[in-house]
Structures are given as structure tokens and as C-alpha cells.
Structure 1
Amino acid sequence: MLNLRQLHYFWMVGKTGSIVRASEQLNLTPQTISGQIGLLEETIGTALFRKTGRQLELTDAGRQALPYAEQIFQLSGELESLFRAQPGQAQVLLRVGVADVVPKSIVYRLLAPTMALSEAVRITCKEDKLERLLADLAIQRLDLVISDSPMPPNLDIKGYSHKLGECGISFFATRELAERHGSNFPAGLHTAPLLVPGADTMVRQRLNRWFAEQKIQPRIIGEFDDSALMKAFGQSGNGIFIAPSVIAAEVCRQFGVELIGQTDAVNEAFYAISVERKVDHPGILAITEGARRDLFT
């Protein structure tokens, strides 16, 4: 069995990048930490660090081990907090993965109902590509993944997709672009500078079909997996951009842009993916019920 103290020293050195910095944080001598890591390497039969000049860098084995150590000591901290909590004050942990294509405003409004629960809920959010989030879900590093698409059928991962709702999309632009291209929607989008979601997103595929049906060919000047970055470019007047219609008023207010058109022919759907068909986590229930009751009515 691994010595957790030795593993903790390895984690601190890997995280800080230096035995000296780790020794300062742990209030130990560098020799103690170096010796304990050496014992750990003897136990597992492989080197975790290599010297490059005066610096230490992780070996391949060290790079693979560091995320596991990170998770072990993160969970250890959460367990310690649980033990220290006063009776009646224990928090319910909700670990949420968010696909990077989901707008942050949608994520906030989906998670907001958990803050109104009678039970104290502590949320941790991780944003990443859907496939990596689902891998974490499969090994129970996450309780829930929020995505713009259901569970991909080609992945060998057990999971269930709970549809939260769907809505049409709206087009936004600065006042200057709106005056130039917004008077005759959607025909005014023809040759207009457009900022769009990445090619792998569901809404991009639907958007392309709709443009073809409308015989519209905008001038695409940017593709973004991160919806917040797309809005930032749109706010600066670089192009027209889209967002779900349920947050249209919020987008106009937050980014100082104008709504130039909306269509229900192109919709965005949002899903909560869990490892359970029937969820009983109070936080997940609050998210699914709140979405269907208040957001996607």
C-alpha cells in the first residue's frame, strides 16, 4: 500500500514545481521531502522526477500520477471539512462538469436553484470538452455533466441523458452592425460578418442547414468553442453572434448589443447527463425541475 505521507510530499513538489517551495509550505526541510520521495520511488519501482540542471521536472510516470494524487487530497480535504462540520451544518457536495460550448449565463441559471435548497449545497464546477467530462463522470469524479447534446451513442460509458429544455436562437450585434445588417432579417445576414459556434456543436450544424434553406451565405469570420469568447468578439463589433433566445434580454444588457432577429427553426437543447437513470441527488433534482419549470417554459 502506498504511504500517503510520501504521496502528499510528491503532490506538493509536483504542484509547486520545487522541493524548496514545497518545504516552505510544509514547514519541513528539503532533505526530508527529498528523502521521502526517494522512498516512494523505491516502493513503486519507478522515478517520478528527473533533474534538468537545477530544476526538477516530472517523468512520464510522475505526470500520470499527479492528477490521481490531486484527486486523493482534494477528496481528503472535503472529507475533513465534512468531519469538522457542526451537526446540521454538513454540506451536500455537487460536482458539475460543464461542456465548454454551453453559455455561462445558461449554466448559472441552471445551477441557481441549488442555492435555494434547505440543505447546504457546495458546488464545484469543471469546464472541459464533453468527452473528457464524461470520462470523469464514468469514474464518479463528477455527479453531473451539463451539455448541449445527449450522451453520444458511440462512447462505451454508462450514462443517462435528462433533457432540460430547448429554445430558439437569437442574433445580436453592436448598434453599427445592427443598422447595417439588421433591418431585413434574416436576408440581411447575407454576406454579413458572422461569429459562430465551433463546427462540432449541435447548434452549428442546425445553423448551417437553416442558412442553406434560407439561401443565405454570411461571411463567417470566427468560430468559437467558448461561447463567452464569441460574445466578447461580438461586443467589440467584430461580427454578429448568436445566443439562446431565453437569455436574449440578459445578453443585450450585459454586452451592450442589440437584438436583430430570432428564429425557432434553429434551436438549442440542453441536457443533464448522469450515471443514474433516476436521480435522487437534491442538487440535480433542483437543476432539472428548475429548468423545466422556470427557464425552458
Structure 2
Amino acid sequence: MGNLNYNHLRYFWAVAHDGNLTRTAERLNLTQSALSVQIRKLEQRLGHPMFERRGRQLHLTEAGRIVLDHADAIFATGEELLGTLREAGTARQALRVGSLATLSRNFQMEFLRPVLGRTDIDLILRSGSVAELLRALEALNLDVVLINQAPASDAVTPLVAHRLAAHAVSLVGTPDRLRGSASLADRLRAHPVILPTLDNSVRTGFDALVDSLGVRPQIVAEVEDMAMMRLLAREDVGLAVLPPIVVKDEIVGGVLVEGDPLPGIAETFYAVTMARRFPNPLVRRLVQPAHSLETA
């Protein structure tokens, strides 16, 4: 096997970052056909296509994304070498994690804890809606996505949902609100509640529960963001319906207390990955203890 031609790699690197073959050719003072030849030679050497064309746009293949990660490290190290002969570049791994914007920050920290503080890892964190995150995952711009419900999958975009944890949901509030003993039904009648929005599985379970109890609670707020639910509970607006992990620090500090557990209601957290030929080994370590479920 011959050595890698770094000129071919640099041409690929330039096109991958520009995202446009014509623009890159103009910038490098090359013809478009000459630039295409250089990239084809790299593809032949590596045995994988680097790009796929969707309409008029160039998109990295999975192999192309991996090659780009290495090219970034290689050329960054070259710049360091030019800048100083006293220090050597350090090889680093990239880990791109996307999280649902409303997901518990405490849960995210627990998931990331094994890689926090490691100096050999570039950790890139992004947030967004489920649709935005899954599109980024499919485009190989993310390695793993953290969400609270398993996504649908098909043969074109095979997703794997790793079930990480299921946290029981309770009534959470200030010590004054949860002082003394009372039945769950009486407590729900006596205090206003802070609920997730209607599209949340916890809300679906809560609505079924209060219907079975014959209770019509006063809803003081319907909130999409768990962080906002935590703040409203701290302000004593009402009793929040959420997993205690969301307010772990407040419970430890005595600002909030966990009250009645809500039977049969839990928030399930998933790490979603693509079925890839070249998976990021860091992701495998993070989800290894979890039970993997291929979504149907």
C-alpha cells in the first residue's frame, strides 16, 4: 500500500470546507476538472467516495466526514509546527453531541461525565428540535443525539435508539407546599400544578392519571423547557410534574423537595446514533452500558 498524497488530501480539505467545487477551484486558481481529478485520486487511494451530490449541492459521505476530521487535525498540526518548533501538535478526537433544547441539563451532564475534562477530546455541543438534530445526525454533522422519545427509523436512514435511563416522575415543590401528609388526589386538588406541554409523554401519562383519580387540577403553567419548570417550582408558583433529576441540586440544598411519586409515569432518555460503517469510538464508550433498541 502506497503512501498518502497530502496534496490530494489538501485539495479535498479545501473543497469540504467550501462546500462548492467551482468556488474552490477559482480560489486555488485551478480548473474545476483538474480539482476533480485530484479528489478522484484521493478516493481511489482510500477506496471510498468522499462526496455525494444531492441536486446541485456536494455533501460529505460518511468516509468523507472521517477523512475531514483527520485532515483538520493534520493541517492544524502543520500550522502549529510552523508557529513553533518547541511544541508538537497533540492528536485530538472530536465528539459532536446534539441535545433536545428542552432536555434536563443534569441528565446531559451525567451522560457526558466520562469525557468531561479530557484534554484529548474536542467536545462540540449543539441543541435544537428533534427534527433539526436528526437531520444533522443523518448529515453526519453530529455523532449522537440526546432526546426523550425514540424516533422512527426506516431502511434509508437507519437510526439506533440506545435507551439510557427511565427516571420516575414525581410532584416537586417547596417544603411548605409538601409539608404534612395527604393523599395524591387531595394534594392535586389543593395546589396548582406546573406541567409539560401536551406533546410530552409525561403530560400524556399525567392526564390519564388525574382522570383515573377523578381530579381536575388547576394548571398554572404549561412549559416545554425543563429548566423553566425548575425555576417556576423554585418561585413557588405550584407543584411541578417532572423527574427529580432535573432539580437534583435544589433537592440537595433543601430549596425543593420530592413529594408524591406519580405511579406509572416516567421520562425515558435516549441516545440516538446512525447505523454507521465507521462509528465514533467515543460514542460507543458512552452508550456501551445502555440497552440498545433499534427503532422500527
Q: TM-score, normalised by structure 1?
A: 0.64
Please say if residues 190 and 217 of structure 1, whose CA atoms lie closer than 8 Å, have aligned partners that are also in contact.
yes
Partner-residue secondary structure (3-state), 2:227: helix
Structure with greater proportional helix content: 1
1:210-267 C-alpha deviation (Å, 9 max, x unpaired): 2222333221111111110111111111111133245664341368112222235101
The residue aligned with 2:270 is 271
Please say if residues 191 and 217 of structure 1, whose CA atoms lie closer than 8 Å, have aligned partners that are also in contact.
no
Q: Residues 279 and 204 from structure 1, CA distance in 2 versus in 1: closer, same or farther, beyond 3 angstroms?
A: farther
Structure 2 gaps of 5+ residues are 1-20, 28-56, 58-68, 81-86, 292-296
Coordinate RMSD, CA, aligned: 3.5
The residue aligned with 2:138 is 138
In the alignment, does 2:196 pair up with 1:176? no
In the alignment, does 2:109 pair up with 1:108? yes
Q: Residues 275 and 291 from structure 1, CA distance in 2 versus in 1: closer, same or farther, beyond 3 angstroms?
A: closer
The residue aligned with 1:234 is 233
Question: 1: CA distance between counterparts of 2:117 and 2:234?
Answer: 32
Please say if residues 163 and 270 of structure 1, whose CA atoms lie closer than 8 Å, have aligned partners that are also in contact.
yes
Structure 1 gaps of 5+ residues are 8-64, 66-74, 293-297
The residue aligned with 2:45 is none
Please say if residues 147 and 273 of structure 1, whose CA atoms lie closer than 8 Å, have aligned partners that are also in contact.
yes
The residue aligned with 1:210 is 209
Letter in 2 for 1:218: P
The residue aligned with 1:96 is 97
Please say if residues 99 and 146 of structure 1, whose CA atoms lie closer than 8 Å, have aligned partners that are also in contact.
yes
Please say if residues 114 and 286 of structure 1, whose CA atoms lie closer than 8 Å, have aligned partners that are also in contact.
no
Please say if residues 198 and 204 of structure 1, whose CA atoms lie closer than 8 Å, have aligned partners that are also in contact.
yes
Question: 1: CA distance between counterparts of 2:77 and 2:218?
Answer: 54
1:128-176 C-alpha deviation (Å, 9 max, x unpaired): 1111111111111111110100113589743111111212112211233
The residue aligned with 1:285 is 284
Moved more, 212-221 or 98-107: 212-221
Partner-residue secondary structure (3-state), 1:110: helix
Partner-residue secondary structure (3-state), 1:97: strand
Question: 2: CA distance between counterparts of 1:81 and 1:261?
Answer: 54
Q: CA deviation at 1:96?
A: 0.8
The residue aligned with 1:49 is none
1:95-136 C-alpha deviation (Å, 9 max, x unpaired): 11101232110111111112376x822211111111111111
The residue aligned with 1:224 is 223
Question: 2: CA distance between counterparts of 1:97 and 1:262?
Answer: 30
Partner-residue secondary structure (3-state), 1:228: helix
Letter in 2 for 1:102: L
Question: 1: CA distance between counterparts of 2:161 and 2:278?
Answer: 11
Letter in 2 for 1:129: S
Q: Percent identity?
A: 19
Partner-residue secondary structure (3-state), 2:177: helix
Q: CA deviation at 1:83?
A: 5.2
Letter in 2 for 1:177: R
Match of 1:3 among 23, 40, 49: 23
Question: 2: CA distance between counterparts of 1:184 and 1:278?
Answer: 55
Q: TM-score, normalised by structure 2?
A: 0.64
